[in-house]
Structure 1
């Protein structure tokens, strides 16, 4: 907690307007109808709807797991620029980056070099972890522009009883906006002091015949990016010239009757400096990382009578990641070394649910994934590859879940899923949740579940040259107790404690240098949260996450902060037309394989001005104190300096009804 003490002090200073907000104000002119429609609810959001924990919509208070939700309103008020900012604001998650990839740790476990494979990421319920690294791609290559997000739901804890592979520490579901929020033409432009420029345009329409749809295109460009590591004198300018990022995204949705069609494309090209030996003709060359991702999905929903409903979805996805490294032969002739990871796969999702039997909500489902292409190829361009690795995998999963209302105060959820894969064999994962609501506006939840993750092609590629065996699937079991209580319409708090046992965790051995299964790992933790709202529209949210994760010898794991503190405050200055919001994000110190990373606190602020119903202007300042903090995402390289102070201006304009 020592690393959080400065954060607690600074956050308290930032939130001093809370005390002032309760003082009586001078009489104001009556609000217009437009202002009344946009006013912030003063009640806490106890009955917010979520659909991640059970794969159907329900109140969060009745869901069989804890679910944290960030809405589009939160995103706009706090100036969240991307998925990293959204996830960074959620309890129990910590986020870092190396300029090329965004890494997410959950509940104290973020293994060095892990590509987010222990969290399952969904877009509108569709699995998007790719099939080479099992990676959740959350950087600038992510499909969804943050302005298109309606809400993000995070259900922590094992989720394999419903979702199968990768739902190890939780499930994150990114739900996009509908035509009701993307109607007409919308245009947004933003620029910041780090030379990042972004533009987005979207068009949405609802036809009288019953169909609706929207299409959005966005692009970004950033140049002269400062290095995250110390440089010799005279290298600053050349490094900035070779450090850049740019890309485009296209996302669309169409719906008619029970059919929904979605499609997305993303292209990102990121440049980084490459350093050659002193005898080379040039000291710095241009390395490139190129991401090309796409998906196409079709969904169908239909009610089969009054008691039954059917859901079916098919999707096709492609991920193409190229790493290009210019180099020189011994005779100083130039060449380029490429490493390409190409994946193509299909998913099928079928579910049937019924309320035919009294007090039961029964659901059964089948999922299938066919990995059509899994390939990693590395070698000089124009020559025979130095290495080629191929995968061939199929996954099948059958699951059933029963949500049973025993009486007015007791509810039980039972679930079971069995997965069979060519690489990982068979895995069976149960879930149990008991929910008691015997106190008004409160709920007590006792939850148990297990999850697994099997080794992927990347881990096979590391082990194969050394003839090391492929690790067996890793597993986790978690028992959690949670209490959620709204003291009145304006104050709500929650508290949860959990204990997890992790077995056969897949990680790189310190001596072997290959992926292998570790011994038993234990994790215990607690998450505390408080939400307060005032009649004047002020909002305050705080979340404290505490955990300890250790191996069989009692040693603390690397990259495992013991404490995370998140505080968010929002203050109207002129009704909802002008609003000032603050964030205080604190993280305790962490130990890596080579160093200790000190704790830190980041302060962010956003001033949101709604000049009219069709124009929003946001001025944001991130890392107000210009705190120098470092991270070591790969666990072995030098610590990398993270983002400093950044000023950002964003304008959004809507045309049409």
Structure 2
């Protein structure tokens, strides 16, 4: 598109031990609970997911390893962004450069990658833009967690259903309906760093099978004052004050009548950059980045008459980016990017064949404008001005075949044709064995791909920092995974997944002669690992969820990848306390990582939240403390920065008041 010394924590032991103990010991505690308050085993088996196969199915029948974060957890734990919630899933971690938040999955999070290998959906609608292919997971995301009813994360490739970008994982935010609200509620936040936020959600289910929902949010933050050691050099004292501010406005709405649904989303976010990114002047104002998103969708979901159900959608989106860069002794410059796209999709689900669930679909998207401009101001000097519109056409087919009462075979294939590249065919095969009503075994193999995007192929600033490479080829991944899940007691589960991912023709940002970066196709990269996870819920209201992961990613020459931790451990818990209050928290640990400019230490973080019971007159109060121990921790810095790492926020306190109207 800083710092006090960071405390070194390499694979923190205590949370890892706790997470392992959760998976190993919860069956013992489950037997101690006579009854579960509100969730029996049969209900647990009916927990569904819609993004793994494009239709609702139990998680036990999904053709992938899945994590479902329900509305209760989303509200109780005080998660502020999609990234914070998803970072509790097995094998998932985050990185931030103080402008954007990036999601790493199973040891893979490349520098210069704007989330291009993860697919984000809202109610099944694609949110990756066609210019950067990026996914926005932090405050820059076009949606708010207050609008989300359920968050699904599907690990592994899903190009067999969704096409490009679904290489390492697919995140689907299932949005609230008006009937989930039947009224309105307002929330007001006050937090550290002079942060404040106002949010409103409203909705109603109406007669005649109609329903409407609306959500809006406005946010302002002064940000932190930072010390960056790399700039404490005699010329500058390393202090970046008043440069980390952020603000956004977001709006989402949908209206459903019968089988039809119309939805729209708008968001705008501006973020100051205190890191002297891209060689800008350290400690001086004027460097910031802004993102603007719009997406409108008209959708029809037919009835299931005569065992078949048609579905149709028409959508239009646009994305705007504006980057302002302040340089000393030379003209300030600006980046401008614009993307406009329109698409349509038709799919047909058919269950008329005995023991088969067929899905057939066609999709096309026209990217009318994919524009990039880079120019200097005072005097004006145009350096880059390109527009590279494109088109894609796709066809996909999936069959879920229950050939035996205990066996399920899921076969999917999709062919995508980009008008500037050769066609790509992506298969996926999953074999699921429900050995008992408690034990499920799963084997999955498949491939996924990504076309090089316009930014990677054509962006150039005339040799100052980045060169174009129009000859880039598509990259693709081949994956193999086996997993097992065992359900115990009334609401307990333990699981294990082993995976091997091989990425071919990896599109990677590489530094060439003269410190100029460009995107090149590498030969082969491999990522393999094991994940253990478990969860349980007791009759007294205690809920525990935890995981540990070991993973290793390396290039063909044997070198380890940057920003690829070897180990991570997580524990997520909530417990009712006195006066019907609820306490919730997370312990998140990550081992050290290699950065572009040097090693970055690991860390362990603790977040805590306390939620009051709702009151009709006075509302509900939540107090959250993030980074409770005020740990100094950091993420690897990108190649466009001088420093080795980017310091992350210290202890933060947030008070939220919510009132139902």
**8 A contact 2:299–2:311 mirrored in 1:** yes
Q: Which residue of structure 2 aligns with residue 108 of structure 1?
A: 107
**8 A contact 1:155–1:172 mirrored in 2:** yes
Q: Which residue of structure 2 aligns with residue 440 of structure 1?
A: 437
Give 3-state SS (helix, strand or coil) of 1:387's partner: strand
1:366 is the counterpart of 2:362: yes
Q: Which residue of structure 2 aligns with residue 34 of structure 1?
A: none
Go from structure 1 to structure 2 and tell me whether the alpha carbon gap of 1:23 and 1:57 turns closer, same or farther (over 3 Å shift): closer
Bigger shift: 351-360 or 188-197? 188-197
Distance 2:283 2:57 in 1: 59
1:479 is the counterpart of 2:480: yes
Give 3-state SS (helix, strand or coil) of 2:112's partner: coil
Go from structure 1 to structure 2 and tell me whether the alpha carbon gap of 1:136 and 1:492 turns closer, same or farther (over 3 Å shift): same
Q: Which residue of structure 2 aligns with residue 541 of structure 1?
A: 545
Q: Which residue of structure 2 aligns with residue 610 of structure 1?
A: 613
**8 A contact 1:213–1:255 mirrored in 2:** yes
Deviations 1:25-55 (A, max 9, x none): 9xxxxxxxxxxxx965365834311011100
Q: Which residue of structure 1 aligns with residue 307 of structure 2?
A: 307
Q: Which residue of structure 1 aligns with residue 94 of structure 2?
A: 95
Go from structure 1 to structure 2 and tell me whether the alpha carbon gap of 1:198 and 1:467 turns closer, same or farther (over 3 Å shift): closer
Go from structure 1 to structure 2 and tell me whether the alpha carbon gap of 1:237 and 1:110 turns closer, same or farther (over 3 Å shift): closer
Q: Which residue of structure 1 aligns with residue 575 of structure 2?
A: 571
Q: Which residue of structure 2 aligns with residue 490 of structure 1?
A: 491
Alpha-carbon offset, residue 357 of structure 1: 0.6
Alpha-carbon offset, residue 189 of structure 1: 0.6
**8 A contact 1:468–1:514 mirrored in 2:** yes
**8 A contact 2:228–2:238 mirrored in 1:** no
Deviations 1:233-285 (A, max 9, x none): 99789833333111110110100001101101111122235979xxx9x9723
Go from structure 1 to structure 2 and tell me whether the alpha carbon gap of 1:601 and 1:304 turns closer, same or farther (over 3 Å shift): closer
1:644 is the counterpart of 2:650: yes
Go from structure 1 to structure 2 and tell me whether the alpha carbon gap of 1:22 and 1:179 turns closer, same or farther (over 3 Å shift): same
**8 A contact 1:228–1:642 mirrored in 2:** no
**8 A contact 1:274–1:284 mirrored in 2:** no
Q: Which residue of structure 2 aligns with residue 5 of structure 1?
A: 13
1:355 is the counterpart of 2:363: no
Deviations 1:135-154 (A, max 9, x none): 00222232221111111111
Go from structure 1 to structure 2 and tell me whether the alpha carbon gap of 1:157 and 1:209 turns closer, same or farther (over 3 Å shift): same
Bigger shift: 603-612 or 234-243? 234-243
**8 A contact 2:176–2:213 mirrored in 1:** no
Go from structure 1 to structure 2 and tell me whether the alpha carbon gap of 1:574 and 1:408 turns closer, same or farther (over 3 Å shift): farther
1:162 is the counterpart of 2:161: yes
Bigger shift: 207-216 or 339-348? 207-216
Q: Tell me, which stretches of 5 or more residues in structure 2 are unaligned?
A: 1-8
Alpha-carbon offset, residue 553 of structure 1: 2.0
Q: For residues 65-464 of structure 1, what are the structure 2 equivalents within 5 Å?
A: 65-227=64-226, 229-230=228-229, 232=232, 239-273=240-274, 284-303=284-303, 305-327=305-327, 336-381=332-377, 383-462=380-459
Alpha-carbon offset, residue 587 of structure 1: 0.6
Distance 1:586 1:274 in 2: 25
Give 3-state SS (helix, strand or coil) of 2:302's partner: strand
Go from structure 1 to structure 2 and tell me whether the alpha carbon gap of 1:389 and 1:309 turns closer, same or farther (over 3 Å shift): same
Go from structure 1 to structure 2 and tell me whether the alpha carbon gap of 1:402 and 1:192 turns closer, same or farther (over 3 Å shift): same
**8 A contact 1:364–1:401 mirrored in 2:** yes
Distance 2:242 2:434 in 1: 60
1:601 is the counterpart of 2:607: no
**8 A contact 1:616–1:651 mirrored in 2:** yes
Distance 1:441 1:562 in 2: 31
Q: TM-score of the superposition, structure 1-length normalised? A: 0.90
Alpha-carbon offset, residue 384 of structure 1: 4.6
Distance 1:434 1:450 in 2: 16
Q: For residues 547-562 of structure 1, what are the structure 2 equivalents within 5 Å?
A: 547-562=551-566
**8 A contact 1:479–1:498 mirrored in 2:** yes
Distance 1:483 1:202 in 2: 39
Deviations 1:82-128 (A, max 9, x none): 11211111111110212211111111010012100000111110001
Deviations 1:572-625 (A, max 9, x none): 1147x3111121001111112221111111011111111426722111111111
Distance 2:316 2:531 in 1: 38
Alpha-carbon offset, residue 162 of structure 1: 0.6
**8 A contact 1:560–1:590 mirrored in 2:** yes
Alpha-carbon offset, residue 209 of structure 1: 2.8
Alpha-carbon offset, residue 394 of structure 1: 0.7
**8 A contact 1:238–1:284 mirrored in 2:** no
Give 3-state SS (helix, strand or coil) of 1:514's partner: strand
**8 A contact 1:158–1:168 mirrored in 2:** yes
Q: Which residue of structure 2 aligns with residue 41 of structure 1?
A: 39
Q: Tell me, which stretches of 5 or more residues in structure 1 are unaligned?
A: 26-37
Give 3-state SS (helix, strand or coil) of 1:591's partner: strand
1:527 is the counterpart of 2:523: no
Distance 1:204 1:310 in 2: 27
Alpha-carbon offset, residue 361 of structure 1: 0.3
Q: Which residue of structure 1 aligns with residue 5 of structure 2?
A: none
Distance 1:119 1:125 in 2: 14
Go from structure 1 to structure 2 and tell me whether the alpha carbon gap of 1:325 and 1:57 turns closer, same or farther (over 3 Å shift): same
Deviations 1:400-440 (A, max 9, x none): 00000111111101111111002332101111111111222
Q: TM-score of the superposition, structure 2-length normalised? A: 0.90
Distance 1:173 1:570 in 2: 24
Alpha-carbon offset, residue 343 of structure 1: 0.6
Deviations 1:366-405 (A, max 9, x none): 1111101101101124735211122121111100000001
Bigger shift: 172-181 or 159-168? 172-181
Distance 2:407 2:32 in 1: 43
**8 A contact 2:263–2:296 mirrored in 1:** yes
Distance 1:325 1:157 in 2: 37
Match 1:514 to one of 508, 512, 518: 518
Distance 2:638 2:346 in 1: 38
Distance 1:464 1:194 in 2: 35
Distance 1:20 1:357 in 2: 44
Go from structure 1 to structure 2 and tell me whether the alpha carbon gap of 1:273 and 1:170 turns closer, same or farther (over 3 Å shift): closer
Deviations 1:478-508 (A, max 9, x none): 1111111112213211111111211110002
